[in-house]
């Protein structure tokens, strides 16, 4: 992979070879064509489209939920170099290093800390829940990306409600059958917390990654104007 560095020191948007970029552009064209006319806001459609591109599933167009300032707050935080807290290493590994370098965003997976396992065993909770509980106000101003663990999302919601923790954006898209749908519904009920979710059982780490990539692309485009 050959990466070019522009005069401002950031990597080019096309951090992939030309052929790969052409396939992506054609994929987006097909999605636009098959989707047809729609009323999605201009700041939300690029996120929805990238999730469809990642999953091959148009059903996401009707399942993604956004609070009013979710996109703008997410972009603002990323451009300030906000840390991204991920519930799994899959999210951490899936994020493109060349995109993250645009604004110097670091990705942290709290559950990878051995202390999280010790705390989880003592408390009788899941490792990811314990990991995010241990973060506390470290989540203030950060992006929280949860694609796998509903218990982690429920803990983040508790931190917001009970301890006044204020992430810049919560991307809550855990997949599954136990507490996944309930946790996402609970997230959307917090009107004052900027958030993006997938209603129902669908979601996953790849969806969380797609949303962050789309936000980074949107941030970069505002700088390019």
d(CA 72, CA 158): 24
62 catalytically annotated: no
136, 110 contact by CB (below 8 A): no
d(CA 183, CA 188): 9
Q: b or e along 62-93 (b: 16 or more beta carbons within 10 Å of the residue's beta carbon)? A: ebbbbbeebbebbbbbbbeebbbbbbbebbbe
- Of 192, 171, 12, nearest in space to 102 by CA: 12
The CA R_g of the chain, rounded to the nearest whole Å, is 17
d(CA 66, CA 73): 11
- Dmax over Cα atoms in the chain, in whole Å? 53
Among residues 38, 53, 62, 213, which one is catalytic?
53
- Of 14, 58, 56, nearest in space to 45 by CA: 58
- Of 87, 85, 65, 84, nearest in space to 152 by CA: 87
Give catalytic residue positions: 53
């Amino acid at each position: 992979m050959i990466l070019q560095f522009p005069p401002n020191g950031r990597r080019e948007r096309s951090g992939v070879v030309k052929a790969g970029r052409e396939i992506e552009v054609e994929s987006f064209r097909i999605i636009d064509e098959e989707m047809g006319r729609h009323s999605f806001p201009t700041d939300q459609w690029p996120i929805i489209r990238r999730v469809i591109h990642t999953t091959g599933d148009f059903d996401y167009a009707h399942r993604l939920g956004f609070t009013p300032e979710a996109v703008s707050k997410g972009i603002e935080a990323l451009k300030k170099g906000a840390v991204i807290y991920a519930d799994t290493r899959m999210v951490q590994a899936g994020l493109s290093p060349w995109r993250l370098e645009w604004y110097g965003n670091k990705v942290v997976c709290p559950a990878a800390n051995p202390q999280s396992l010790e705390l989880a065993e003592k408390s009788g909770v899941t490792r990811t829940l314990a990991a995010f509980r241990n973060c506390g106000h470290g989540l203030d101003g950060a992006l929280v990306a949860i694609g796998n663990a509903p218990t982690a999302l429920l803990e983040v919601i508790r931190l917001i409600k009970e301890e006044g923790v204020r992430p810049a954006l919560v991307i809550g898209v855990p997949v599954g059958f136990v507490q996944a749908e309930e946790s996402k519904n609970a997230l959307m009920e917090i009107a004052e917390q900027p958030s993006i979710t997938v209603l129902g059982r669908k979601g996953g780490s790849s969806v969380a990654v797609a949303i962050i990539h789309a936000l980074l692309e949107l941030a970069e485009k505002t700088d390019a104007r």
